[in-house]
């Protein structure tokens, strides 16, 4: 790579990852098999694929987009996103350097919890995102994404309540090696219970120690 290159990684690899993630976007856009496709179309919503560095060391995984996210196609862009930004700032991590996504890529009606059917339908896209980006740390935001990662990446026997597991660090097994997994509360909890923001800040300090 020539000196002063604008690309921190090799250009062919940048292009490869960009193309692979674009393919995921195109497939989700055309996913008429989704029970959320009609709801998306009726409301002129967008699927929310993910946002951030394609070489991120840290991947944050939420549950499903809300209304603001579905209108803008950007994950965590509303009130929860502002909390997430504040938490990232507290550990001196720039949001553009991480990757943020959800298991389910379309908004469920009325922000309800995603169903098992929806999680199973969209899960292959998330698995591919993990394989493309190859994060060394996976941090889940909320119990649905926590359970999904633990079930699918070698931690099934350790599953418990998020109240007991948040902030703990586990070794998760991926195809490209072992990564650090940390379960976190969803940032939205801080909007309803101020004391939970302090819990989240403490848990983000754990991320900081894992980053090294």
Residue 2: inside a domain: no
The residue behind tokens 């969803």 is: 186
Residue 85: inside a domain: yes
Return d(Cα 9, Cα 139) in angstroms, integer.
23
**Contact assessment for residue 149 and residue 138, using Cβ atoms and an 8 Å cutoff:** yes
**CATH at residue 180:** 3.40.470.10
The domain tally of the chain equals 1
Residue 6: inside a domain: no
Residue 148: inside a domain: yes
pLDDT of 89-143, one tens digit each?
999 999 999 999 999 999 999 989 999 999 999 999 999 999 999 999 999 999 9
Position 6 scores a pLDDT of: 45
Residue 23: inside a domain: yes
Q: Which two tokens stand for residue 139?
A: 């941090």
pLDDT, mean over the chain: 94
Residue 3: inside a domain: no
Fill in the DSSP letter of residue 109: G
Residue 1: inside a domain: no
pLDDT band at 194 (very low <50, low <70, confident <90, very high): confident
| Longest CA span, the chain | 51
Neighbours of 43 (CB within 10 A): 13
**Contact assessment for residue 128 and residue 175, using Cβ atoms and an 8 Å cutoff:** no
pLDDT band at 82 (very low <50, low <70, confident <90, very high): very high
Residue 181: inside a domain: yes
The structure's pTM equals 0.93
Position 8 scores a pLDDT of: 55
Domain region containing 179: 11-211
């Amino acid at each position: 790579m020539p000196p002063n290159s604008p690309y921190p990684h090799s250009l062919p690899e940048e292009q490869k990852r960009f193309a692979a993630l674009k393919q995921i976007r195109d497939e989700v856009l055309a996913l008429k098999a989704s029970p959320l496709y009609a709801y998306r179309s009726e409301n002129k919503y967008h699927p929310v694929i993910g946002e951030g560095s394609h070489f991120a060391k840290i991947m944050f995984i939420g549950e499903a987009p809300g209304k603001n996210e579905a209108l803008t196609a950007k994950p965590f862009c509303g009130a929860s996103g502002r909390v997430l930004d504040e938490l990232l700032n507290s550990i001196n991590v720039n949001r553009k350097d991480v990757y943020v996504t959800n298991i389910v890529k379309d908004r469920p009606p009325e922000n309800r919890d995603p169903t098992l059917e929806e999680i199973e339908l969209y899960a292959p896209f998330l698995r591919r995102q993990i394989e493309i980006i190859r994060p060394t740390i996976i941090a889940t935001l909320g119990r649905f994404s926590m359970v999904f990662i633990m079930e699918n990446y070698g931690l099934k026997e350790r599953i418990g309540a998020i109240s007991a597991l948040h902030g703990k660090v586990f070794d998760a097994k991926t195809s490209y090696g072992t990564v650090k997994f940390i379960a976190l509360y969803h940032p939205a909890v801080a909007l309803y219970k101020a004391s939970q923001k302090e819990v989240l800040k403490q848990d983000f300090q754990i991320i900081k120690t894992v980053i090294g």
